[in-house]
Amino acid sequence: MNRINQKLQEDKKILSIYFSAGYPNLNDTVQIIQDLEKNGVDMIEIGLPFSDPLADGPTIQASSTQALHNGMTTQVLFDQLKDIRHSVTIPLVIMGYFNPMLQYGVENFCQKCAEIGIDGLIIPDLPVDVYAEHYKATFDKYGLINVFLITPQTSDERIRFIDSVSDGFIYMVSSASVTGSQSGFGNTQENYFKRIADMKLKNPQVIGFGINNAETFNQATQFAKGAIIGSAFITYLTENGTGKIEEFVKAIR
């Protein structure tokens, strides 16, 4: 069974952390992953930097740009992660845009992910119908879960189609904005969380965008299996470096 599915079956709320590979420094990637697992994070999203990150807010964009300047590429990331499963057991997901994957070759990319122990991908600019028609068979061949995003504006019909194509979790974007642009949830978000929960989808939901502290983590996980923190963690790395990751995780739960 895929490590993502194993983790989702655990009787706990999932804390997933996102960071940009190669940030703050090019060779920080593996150490950050190891420290996050050591301090109790359940799943990690490794951002593959891209020059035109449409869904990302200024914090993640800046970290992605710096990582590119540091020399991060698809091949460098794969080289960094080649031995990651000797020291890390939790699910690892690569989050990136489709263009670098196309350039690398979709099958080659998926094969490499399988070789090094990546469990899934999040590709915000790959439409679910295009994936289902052209790429799902390749992902399945290499045991990779592809995670799709929904927003408050996604129709129920579209959500149910995404649910039918998915076999891991659904990434529930808390609002129609870029990452890092919120602080806390109001009635609009809570009503949206409840609406999705009431749909009784077959795949659990993990909420992202706007989770930045214990309060928002707890709010989000009232209605979903877990929550994802990205911009707040990158801001923490920017301000504190990589030596105090334990303090960040402890402040969330």
Catalytic residues: 45, 56
Instruction: Classify 206 as helix, strand or coil.
Output: strand
Q: In angstroms, rounded to a whole number, what is the distance separating the alpha carbons of residues 125 and 65? A: 19
Which residues 6+ apart lie within 8 Å of 41 measured at CB? Answer: 15, 16, 17, 90, 249
Length of the chain: 253
**231 exposure class (CB count in 10 Å sphere: 0-12, 13-18, 19+):** buried
Judge contact between 106 and 98, C-beta under 8 A: no
Judge contact between 75 and 101, C-beta under 8 A: no
